[in-house]
Chain A
Amino acid sequence: MSKKKHNQGRRRFVKGVGAVGGSALLGTTGAVSTQLVRAAGHSRVTFGMGTVPTTADTMDPVYRTSGSDANYNAAVYEALVHRDPSLTATPVLAESWSANATGTEWTFKLREATFHNGKPFMAADVVSSYKRLLDPDTASPGASNLAAVDPDGIVAVNDRTVRFKLTEPDVDFPNTTVFSQNMIAPEGSGPELSTNPIGTGPFKADGFTPGEISNRFVRHENYWNPGKPGVDELDIVGIGEREARVAALLSGQIDIAAQLNPASLGSLEGNSDYKIVNNNVGTSTIAYCQTDTAPFDNNDLRLAIKYATNRQQMLDLYYQGRGALMNDTPIPGFIFGGLDTIRERSLAKAKEHLDKAGYPNGIDLTFEYAKYSNEDQWATIWQAGLAEAGIRLTLEQRPTDGYWGDVWLQDGHPFAHSGWNVRPTHAALGLWYLSTASWNESRFKSETFDANYAKAKATVNDAERIKLYHACIKEVQDHAGHFVPFIQAFMDGMSSKVNGWTPTAGSKDYGSIVIG
């Protein structure tokens, strides 16, 4: 008996050596493969994110604020519904959903899943997670997304069914349950989740430390989706500098380098060991003006700026054409409900509107921005285009620390930079243009818009709803104080052996990453 055991052990050992030898052989073909196949039968992917981890990072979904949190949380937790890379709602912890005729009551059928601590996932977990998120004492940054949810109207119908009562109709409600603050933790969880997270996601945390440059996540053996995750370990490393991310990818220390830009692709393009995955449903740098403040309260001035903006030149110079032209709202035509007409540049029309606004000799404006990446270049190119129409910008750079608290949205800063990831049409319109929206940076207020938007939220028929969305977008393009010349594509560089990863403004899907 003991001899047999010994033999088995020996065989296993010999097999192991063979496998290690194999991976060492693979290693000679390139630096990359040695990193991916670190030990026989044990796979790890190292994800180099572009945000620098801070000590304020947290794995408690309700307190999620930073970009690094969003990366970590997506590995560990899941929401009822996720957004795929084109921002379409896809079922995750909910298998399916249905609404009443008016869209005020939503019923979600839940999947059978298991938490990392072995507890089965139940409707009660959904109810308690949402109640904690909506509790005013929590003051979750995610609560404002769920303004229409009545906390007392969230009911576990049975173990596998949960129902939400809304205070107003919302036919897009499932697409509102996707946010990372809405992720589901076991009933009774509290702030201990910050560093000791328990979710249903493909990976579980392996000793999470806020502010650590590298944090490790390991396979959740009881994950509900058979065959996932595709790797045993996921390391998320925060590398703030783009050049350093690319260098780390080239030296084989990371397998995916997130958030690259056209200037950083040089050493990856044309190298068959690496590939670049793009997603045009990306992000934007934009300008806004407060439409209730002189001189921006004059729509002719706003239109003059819109006509004078050289969109194509901006996209070409700023992002080597990698993105899509936009028509002064960050809602592209290629997502559901979007509208893809682009305003033709016309200096004659710009001058005409300037005249009408009372500035026949042009106008001098001060534009404020903070340099998070290359906003200075963006502003300089914009400035050059506008100058041709006599709109002379003075650029003022503000410190990035506290920009969102001290400049953005504040009185006395009527003309400034902002930026947004692309969001689904219904969410985008409600977030930026509704007269009651707290992120309505251009202070756009229109009863027609509000009425059309409310009607759209109650219209179940897709074609009818799209018509209403288009009316909303059209009005925004012609009247609001947003200046959005283009959106830029997301681009991640990775080893050509990595598959299943797409950069996205939607839900990050680490579970689908596979090697080979």
Chain B
Amino acid sequence: MRFALRLILPRIVLAALTLAAISVIIFTLVELLPGDAATRVLGRNATAENVEVWRKRFNLDRPPVTRYLLWARDFARGDWGVSLVSAQVASAGNPGGKTMRPVADLVLPRLKNTLILTLYVMAISIPASLFLGIVTAVFRERRFATWLSGLVLFGVSMPDYVIGVLMLLVFTVSLGWFPALALIDQATSVAEMVHMLTMPAVTLAIAVTGVSVRMMQGSLLQVLDSDYVRFATLKGLSKTRTLLVHALPNALGPAIRVTVLSLVWLIGGVVYVEVIFTFPGLGMLLLNSLKLLDTPVILAGTMLLSAFLILANLAADILAAVLNPKLRKQ
């Protein structure tokens, strides 16, 4: 317990400070970019008179410092604010349009979609990396393992959008097995959703798995060559027991770290894959908001991702410590 507290507490304090610093940096960067939401939305119609009125419409007429402080105050209270450019959706009792749309209303549905896709990717990727990592390390002298390693390397080297387009051409256009558009909001059953998400999930799983297999394989090879594994073998332990009880737990650490990084990458938005499969994920929303310079949405998105990155790393540290007897006893 004390061990856990010692590990967690300082990090939480640091995390809050980091988040505050990130929000200042992001806000400043967005301010420094040429133009603002008014000029971006107006595009070719951005005459000086138009821009002035639209700035007012978009609540951009106050000085930047005031806008940041107001945002920070609301954010600290748990209010993510409203989008600068997006109108409130009409509903019963609210004719819509006259007010702007809450940021949470924009971000949360997209985050949900992205989490579903990420879960699917992890469900493919984690067992696949464990299996491939062990097989390619244990049978490293066999020819099929070399081939497998080559294949994995191929998966790592291919950019995800190339894999995505190839998948689209083969499985949608030629074979007709999967739909081209992953419009999961329209799915009426879990089966339909899985059907829609298979192509983007496999595309991403190929990209993610390759890295963790390489990591897994590398660290396992190192452990297998270590003195204590040799000693376990000399002691007469079975090969399986040596591998699963003595070698594997020590080799998992780096693979877990890489998996966590992939997880953050997946949640942060995999824009190319979202574009190719027309998937309504967080990445497209953030990119779109960045193009429109919709500061509250950009800030909420980056805060969310930063918090996630910090928490995921913390979880990875704890998991690695729990699995590794050496770290646990320190």
Q: With A and B bound together, what is the CA distance between A239 and B279 in angstroms?
A: 10
Asked if residues A247 and B45 are in contact (CB atoms below 8 Å), the reply is: no
Q: With A and B bound together, what is the CA distance between A213 and B280 in angstroms?
A: 7
Asked if residues A195 and B96 are in contact (CB atoms below 8 Å), the reply is: yes
Asked if residues A253 and B181 are in contact (CB atoms below 8 Å), the reply is: yes
Interface 0/1 of B281-294, CB less than 8 Å to A: 00011001111101
Q: With A and B bound together, what is the CA distance between A439 and B47 in angstroms?
A: 10
Interface 0/1 of B36-70, CB less than 8 Å to A: 01011111111101101110000000000000000
Chain A contacts for B86, CB-based, 8 A: 55-56, 210-211
Chain B contacts for A58, CB-based, 8 A: 87, 97
Asked if residues B181 and A402 are in contact (CB atoms below 8 Å), the reply is: no
**Chain A 187-234 interface residues, beta-carbon cutoff 8 Å to B:** 190-196, 207-214
Chain A, Cβ-Cβ closest to B37: A56
Asked if residues A438 and B47 are in contact (CB atoms below 8 Å), the reply is: yes
Asked if residues A194 and B180 are in contact (CB atoms below 8 Å), the reply is: no
Asked if residues B294 and A195 are in contact (CB atoms below 8 Å), the reply is: no
Q: With A and B bound together, what is the CA distance between A240 and B271 in angstroms?
A: 12
Interface 0/1 of A51-62, CB less than 8 Å to B: 010111010100
Chain A contacts for B284, CB-based, 8 A: 52
- How many A-B contacts if CB must be within 8 Å? 163
Asked if residues B41 and A56 are in contact (CB atoms below 8 Å), the reply is: yes
Asked if A244 meets B42 with Cβ closer than 8 Å, knowing A54-B288, A214-B186, the reply is no
Asked if residues A405 and B35 are in contact (CB atoms below 8 Å), the reply is: yes
Residue among A137, A210, A212, A408 with max Cβ neighbours from chain B (10 Å): A210
Asked if residues A247 and B173 are in contact (CB atoms below 8 Å), the reply is: yes
Residue from the list B90, B172, B285 in contact with A192, Cβ < 8 A: B90
Asked if residues B176 and A404 are in contact (CB atoms below 8 Å), the reply is: no
Q: Does A70 contact B (CB under 8 A)?
A: no
Asked if residues A144 and B47 are in contact (CB atoms below 8 Å), the reply is: yes
Asked if residues B292 and A54 are in contact (CB atoms below 8 Å), the reply is: yes
- Report the interface size for chain A: residues with CB under 8 A from the other chain: 53
Q: Does A270 contact B (CB under 8 A)?
A: no
Chain A contacts for B54, CB-based, 8 A: 139
Q: With A and B bound together, what is the CA distance between A405 and B293 in angstroms?
A: 13
Which of the four size classes fits the interface of chain B? 35 or more
Q: With A and B bound together, what is the CA distance between A196 and B98 in angstroms?
A: 10
| Nearest chain B CB to A172 CB, angstrom units | 21
**Chain B 159-204 interface residues, beta-carbon cutoff 8 Å to A:** 165, 168-169, 172-173, 176, 178-181, 183, 185-186
Q: With A and B bound together, what is the CA distance between A191 and B89 in angstroms?
A: 12
Asked if residues A253 and B180 are in contact (CB atoms below 8 Å), the reply is: yes
Question: 22 A-B contacts, Cβ less than 8 Å apart?
Answer: A54-B85, A55-B106, A55-B285, A55-B292, A58-B87, A139-B49, A139-B50, A190-B97, A194-B96, A195-B90, A196-B96, A210-B87, A211-B86, A239-B278, A240-B275, A247-B168, A248-B180, A250-B172, A267-B173, A402-B33, A404-B43, A405-B43
Q: A144-B47, A241-B278, A248-B181 are in contact. List 14 more A-B contacts (CB 8 A).
A: A55-B106, A56-B292, A139-B52, A191-B98, A192-B95, A194-B96, A210-B89, A237-B181, A244-B275, A267-B173, A401-B291, A405-B39, A406-B34, A408-B44
Q: Which residues of A contact B (CB under 8 A)?
A: 31, 52, 54-56, 58, 60, 65-66, 136-139, 141, 144, 190-196, 207-214, 237-241, 243-244, 246-248, 250-251, 253-254, 267, 401-402, 404-406, 408, 438-439
